[in-house]
Amino acid sequence: MKPIVKSEIMSAFQSLGLTKGDTVMAHTSLSKIGYVCGGAQAVIEALLETVGEEGTVMMPAQSWKNLDPEDGVHWDVEEKYWQAIRDHWPAYDKRLTPTNTMGAVAEMFRSWPGALRSDHPARSVAAWGKHAEYLTSGHDLSNIFGDGSPIGKLYGLDGSVLLIGVGYDKNTSLHLADARAEYPGKHNCVEHSAIFENGKRVWKAYETLFVDGEDFAQIGEAFEAENAVRKTRLGNAELRLMKQRRLVDFAVDWMEKYRK
């Protein structure tokens, strides 16, 4: 396949309508694009140059393996060893802790010069640009994806969502709809993560909304049946750009209608 160069990536973003000053949450699968000349670096540079210093780019930086083994995140470890994870998993350090399955672009972006990362030990985001500090500050343990979280703040800024080679199952903004919607099965759970507290590593318990994303692909299909979503192709990947508010508002109504 012909290598994809940065100028082609920028052209794809511009064809979607992404422009200077925009605030956007990006989800990326580098491998789905094909051979990118410069890899993750080229994609990030293309994004930042497209929105400029007056714009803002945010990406997921989740380190969800920093959760209790009972949640199923350490499926390769026998239950008899779970306590060792609780006792020894490294405390979250936003400068060092790697992302888990967020992709090569998000992993590079979290430590990009000028990027900031939120404090949630398992569900953090990273952001660069005009609103980076606002988006990443005050990410409360118990408010992962609700109003006041980075995803909720993006809604307040009337930001956009950019999907690069991924589907709605990776669209974190749908969790804001989950937090807002009312449906019979909605419930909280107690999660645990290793954090630093008063300078010491602790295995911290916190109550939060149970994260449910099993129907996100179905919601995305329904959303696109009723809403115009800008699309283009970059290499082998399909790109989608949408306004986050429109997606979240649609998803709230859908969840309240169809979720049990």
Is 193 inside any structural domain? no
Give me the DSSP letters along 92-113: P-TTTPPPSSS-HHHHHHTTST
Asked whether 258 and 221 are in contact (CB, 8 A), the reply is no
Closest to 173 measured CA to CA, from 220, 141, 129, 126: 220
CB contact set of 50 (below 8 Å; sequence gap of 6+): 10, 13, 14, 18, 19, 20, 22
Q: How many domains does the chain have?
A: 1
Share of the chain above pLDDT 70, in %: 100
pLDDT exceeds cutoff 80 at 80:
yes
Is 156 inside any structural domain? yes
What is the structure's pLDDT at 212?
A: 84
Which residues share a beta bridge with 13? Answer: none
Which pLDDT tens digit goes with each residue over 177-230?
999 999 999 999 999 999 999 999 999 999 999 988 999 999 999 999 999 999
Tokens 């970059």 correspond to what residue?
234
The three-class DSSP label of residue 24 is strand
Of the pLDDT bands very low, low, confident and very high (cuts 50, 70, 90), residue 1 is confident
Tokens 């129907």 correspond to what residue?
215
CA-based torsion, 251, 136, 92, 100: positive or negative: positive
The domain in which residue 227 lies consists of: 6-65+95-182+214-258
Which pLDDT tens digit goes with each residue over 150-163?
999 999 999 999 99
What is the CB-side half-sphere exposure of residue 198 using CA atoms within 13 A? Answer: 3
What is the structure's pLDDT at 255?
A: 98
239 burial (CB, 10 Å; 0-12 / 13-18 / 19+) is buried
Is 187 inside any structural domain? no
Which pLDDT tens digit goes with each residue over 85-136?
999 999 999 999 999 999 999 999 999 999 999 999 999 999 999 999 999 9
CA distance 60 to 56: 14
Tell me the average pLDDT across 163-175.
Answer: 98
Is 123 inside any structural domain? yes
Which pLDDT tens digit goes with each residue over 233-255?
999 999 999 999 999 999 999 99
Is 76 inside any structural domain? no
Of the pLDDT bands very low, low, confident and very high (cuts 50, 70, 90), residue 170 is very high
User: What's the mean pLDDT when you consider all of the chain?
Assistant: 97
Tell me the average pLDDT across 169-182.
Answer: 98
Is 252 inside any structural domain? yes
What is the structure's pLDDT at 211?
A: 87
What is the structure's pLDDT at 112?
A: 98
Asked whether 60 and 102 are in contact (CB, 8 A), the reply is yes
Is 86 inside any structural domain? no
Is 105 inside any structural domain? yes
Asked whether 54 and 130 are in contact (CB, 8 A), the reply is yes
